[in-house]
């Protein structure tokens, strides 16, 4: 089913794929993607953030570990007539070479307990017991894939200690600012903008 345009793009919901939600919208509101830049949309899901970026970017590479997400992103790229967006299966940076001007990431950040059901959709929010399993893997490799002066737009949550994420990025030479935040009943969401000035 085609939804009302969100931030200038139309998004079709797909079975087995995380649909844009409040965290996605907060990140989309904060995006300021320059003309002609290269963008990596990490964990693309439905393709929503990559398609928002594709309106001004030169090229967008949207990656996900979930094959259904890649198929959904391709469908939504066609729906929006986006010809500058490529999809590729990758577990974080495992299938990515080179670096980018922008990296967008709404990571799995919810703490989960052992034994909770896990399926393709839950990969989008399952951050392990600390909520940081995927976040910490991403942080370990991100500086190898961002151009000098490049920007990371990343969502963080108080449930998975976004302040630790800030500290790690700063230790790698990024300048950090919080460009959006929203308090919910049980957590605070923030959008971190990390500029690589190392």
Answer yes or no: is pLDDT of 154 > 80. yes
Answer yes or no: is pLDDT of 185 > 90. no
pLDDT number for residue 114: 72
Answer yes or no: is pLDDT of 129 > 90. no
Answer yes or no: is pLDDT of 99 > 80. yes
pLDDT number for residue 177: 98
Provide the residue ranges of all domains of the chain, joining segments of one domain with +.
Answer: 22-196
pLDDT number for residue 53: 98
Question: Quick one: which of 190, 161, 159, 189 has its CA closest to 177?
Answer: 190
Answer yes or no: is pLDDT of 159 > 90. yes
Answer yes or no: is pLDDT of 197 > 90. no
**Among residues of the chain, what percentage have pLDDT more than 70?**
91
Query: Strand 38-42's sheet: what is its strand order?
Result: 85-89, 59-64, 38-42, 100-105, 146-157, 188-196, 174-183
Q: What is the mean pLDDT of the chain?
A: 92
Confidence of residue 119 (pLDDT cuts 50, 70, 90): low
pLDDT number for residue 6: 79
pLDDT number for residue 116: 59
Arithmetic mean of pLDDT, 176-187: 94
CATH 3.40.50.150 fits 22-196, yes or no: yes
Confidence of residue 128 (pLDDT cuts 50, 70, 90): confident
């Amino acid at each position: 089913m085609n939804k009302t345009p969100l931030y200038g793009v139309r998004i079709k919901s797909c079975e087995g794929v995380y649909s844009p939600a409040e965290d996605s919208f907060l990140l989309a509101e904060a995006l300021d993607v320059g003309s002609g830049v290269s963008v990596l949309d990490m964990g693309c899901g439905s393709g929503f953030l990559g398609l928002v970026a594709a309106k001004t970017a030169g090229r967008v590479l949207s990656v996900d570990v979930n094959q259904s997400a890649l198929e959904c992103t391709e469908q939504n790229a066609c729906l929006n007539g986006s010809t500058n967006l490529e999809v590729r299966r990758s577990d974080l940076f495992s299938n990515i070479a080179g670096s980018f001007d922008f990296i967008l990431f709404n990571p799995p950040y919810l703490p989960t307990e052992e034994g909770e059901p896990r399926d393709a959709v839950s990969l989008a929010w399952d951050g392990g017991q600390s909520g940081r399993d995927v976040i910490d893997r991403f942080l370990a490799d991100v500086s190898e894939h961002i151009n000098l002066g490049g920007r990371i737009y990343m969502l963080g949550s108080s449930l998975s200690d976004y302040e630790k994420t800030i500290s790690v990025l700063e230790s790698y030479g990024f300048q950090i600012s919080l460009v959006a935040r929203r308090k919910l009943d049980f957590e605070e969401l923030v959008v971190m903008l990390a500029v690589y000035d190392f």
